Chains A and B, each alone.
Chain A
């Protein structure tokens, strides 16, 4: 067998902006031959754009490179690219029947009709749709339509199959069945699958490799187990599975303090007394009725049966709320003791410890930043100075009525940190402001944003 490189698709420096909005920000990714790769992320993270660039429906900004088998494919129009796509809403041709839909690509390639017949039947068998050749595609159920869409793509024997949230429109039961079938199909065909989904469970079930994306950037690339057990940052931890994400301080190597207690951990190299994020999965907290010798204690606030386990919210002795999953139920109001194994404590570097903006002084007591002018204290700076502005997370005020704020923004991402919420608020101009608050907000809430002048710290930028 001729030696083929292990990498089938190489993506380098891929960026895309629509006007001001950056959809993809310098993506670099190698996809291995025969792999099942999942692009995972919330809607608007750029995963679909990336897939459409592979298929050729969207062009990246200048400078990006996509090669397949070491050949540049960006210059090829979609119909010449050696990969096929399964579309989210199936995109079956409504005026053609099942057979004609599947044979569409082969007919265009002028394949002999006997060969077409053979291959269409094989493809139909592959997706368990034998005997459906003559059916009107509009009369098929969602699951059947999806099977036809898959057959229509694989019948062309592509080296790479792109799947854009193919199961999103199916109900839960059907989705589970199709997941298993897709995995079997991937093994049987031996080709590369690139799969886009926002469903983390689906990604964990199906993939060899998961690429977690957010805000147009790759957050983490790894096997499902890596991503689940060793999330690279608080976004990944929150997005994959359920977790308790807490502010902590790395006291020294292998010792971390959070929720008001010191714990032994396995991480090191963070330095001393460094602020960190700590992630503990709810199933990794051991809960007992006996408070003696416990790492920390608390009171059960709620207990819900979830089928296999119970999900409990416990208020700890220092006033933090934690989610715990256990096979045993503890009654509401019960005093409990808890333990966490050192290896179950995941310590992550904080991406930031306060808001940092670039600004210009418009007078000694006003600074222009985020597209508007803020008052600030006299800090020995003069008009025209370029400055870096720092605002603590908990010093940004949010208002119900957008008129009450200096800026208008919408809640973009919410992280519960045990005793407060850490919000990412996106301003109208697309800037991000990070806010710690005890108030409850929902995603996409429109808020007014203001900052008291005493809380704005400016320093001259050099």
Chain B
């Protein structure tokens, strides 16, 4: 009985949480310009989303979002991994300072990060656009990579690096053959996290994109919504994003379970 009410509570909450998404998904299969108005089943919105044409700006916003996320995620994975190895081997005060700085972008609200970077770029006289957005995204993504790689380094038996040296590996060989394979799962989840954070970002992008007409998906939706009408093609897009994220999460979860099993076997 207790269990029944507990489950009921969970599912009511979930229903509330998902109601908007489900409404959007349902109405992505109809042509109506206004949401809530069912004009019969159609996949026209899906085809027109990808055919470009009238919604060329939406397509280019999606392209920008993906390319910025990819560059930022790759860069912050490399930067963050190297940094994590460095921080792991640091001691004392210096380590505290760098850990503190690394925490700031995660604790700071987006709007503050955005404004502070905006002020940086205008003070330095850097014209804002694609590059500044990428730099800004690297700045707030890298801490998460560090945070994902660090536990892998800490869990690693510290002797295995020494064992590699003991068996004749140079420090670089030990890094490539022993350390990297060990921390790879952390790098992968750091990369995925960085990628999603970058795609999700709105505030930081808004303040660092300049006014040369660069739009990402978030800023496009914002501009669109401010104009009053919402592009109907956003409905199929949201649906697709939802499904992709769902699939990604499932994959990550399966991976995590496998890793946990492997650990148990140890």
Contact = CB atoms under 8 A, between A and B. Distances in A.
Instruction: Find out whether A and B make contact in their complex, taking CB atoms under 8 A apart as touching.
Output: yes
A104 B177 CA distance: 10
Nearest to A82: B168
B166 A85 contact: yes
Contacts of A104: 164, 167, 169, 177
A79 B262 contact: no
B37 interface: no
Interface string B152-195: 00000101101111111111011001100110000000000000
A156 B167 contact: yes
Q: How large is the interface on A (under 10, 10 to 19, 20 to 34, 35 or more residues)?
A: 20 to 34
A91 B168 contact: no
Contacts of B164: 93, 104
Interface in A77-128: 77-81, 84-85, 87-95, 104-105, 108-109
Interface string B239-266: 0000000000000000000000010011
Contacts of A85: 162-163, 166
A444 interface: no
Contact of A84 (B166, B171, B181): B166
A77 B173 CA distance: 14
A138 interface: yes
A47 interface: no
A79 B168 contact: yes
Nearest to A139: B265
A55 interface: yes
Give 10 closest A-B pairs by Cβ, nearest first: A105-B167, A91-B159, A78-B165, A91-B163, A87-B159, A95-B181, A138-B266, A108-B168, A85-B166, A79-B165
Given A77-B165, A79-B168, A92-B160, 17 more contacts: A57-B165, A79-B165, A79-B174, A84-B167, A85-B163, A88-B159, A89-B159, A90-B157, A91-B160, A93-B164, A93-B178, A104-B164, A104-B167, A104-B169, A108-B167, A138-B262, A152-B163
Most buried by B among A56, A91, A108: A91
Contacts of B178: 93
Given A93-B178, A95-B181, A139-B265, A105 B168 contact: yes
Contacts of B262: 138
Contacts of A92: 160, 163
Contacts of B182: 94-95
A78 B169 CA distance: 9
Most buried by B among A84, A89, A104, A153: A104
B157 A91 contact: yes
A462 B162 CA distance: 50
Contacts of A152: 163, 167
A85 B160 CA distance: 11
Given A87-B159, A138-B262, A56 B181 contact: no
A79 B170 contact: yes
Interface of A: 55-57, 77-81, 84-85, 87-95, 104-105, 108-109, 136, 138-139, 152-153, 156
Contacts of A139: 265
B168 A109 contact: yes
Contacts of A88: 159
B77 to A, nearest CB: 19
Contacts of B167: 79, 84, 104-105, 108, 152-153, 156
Given A93-B178, A94-B182, A95-B181, A79 B266 contact: no
Contacts of B177: 104
Contact of A138 (B159, B160, B265): B265
A87 B170 contact: no
Given A79-B168, A139-B265, A93 B163 contact: yes
Contacts of A136: 265
B175 to A, nearest CB: 12
Interface string B198-222: 0000000000000000000000000
Nearest to A164: B159
A55 B162 contact: yes
Contact of B160 (A55, A56, A84, A93): A93
A56 B159 contact: no
26 contacts: A56-B165, A57-B162, A78-B166, A79-B165, A79-B167, A79-B169, A79-B174, A84-B166, A85-B162, A85-B166, A87-B159, A87-B162, A89-B159, A90-B157, A91-B163, A93-B163, A94-B160, A94-B182, A94-B266, A95-B182, A104-B177, A108-B168, A108-B169, A138-B266, A152-B167, A156-B167
Contacts of B265: 136, 138-139
Contact of A78 (B157, B162, B181): B162
A313 B266 CA distance: 45
Contacts of A57: 162, 165
A139 B163 CA distance: 20
Contacts of B171: 77, 79
A109 B167 CA distance: 9
A91 B262 CA distance: 17
Nearest to A57: B162
Contacts of B165: 56-57, 77-79
Contacts of B166: 55-56, 78-79, 81, 84-85, 153
Most buried by B among A55, A78, A81, A156: A78
Contacts of A89: 157, 159
A139 B162 CA distance: 22
Nearest to A81: B166
A89 B163 CA distance: 11
Nearest to A145: B266
A88 B162 CA distance: 12
Contacts of A156: 167-168
A167 to B, nearest CB: 16
Given A108-B167, A156-B168, A91 B173 contact: no
Contacts of A79: 165-171, 174
Most buried by A among B159, B171, B174: B159
A91 B162 contact: yes
A220 B167 CA distance: 32
A44 to B, nearest CB: 18
Nearest to B170: A79
Nearest to A88: B159
A79 B172 CA distance: 11
A90 B157 CA distance: 9
B116 to A, nearest CB: 39
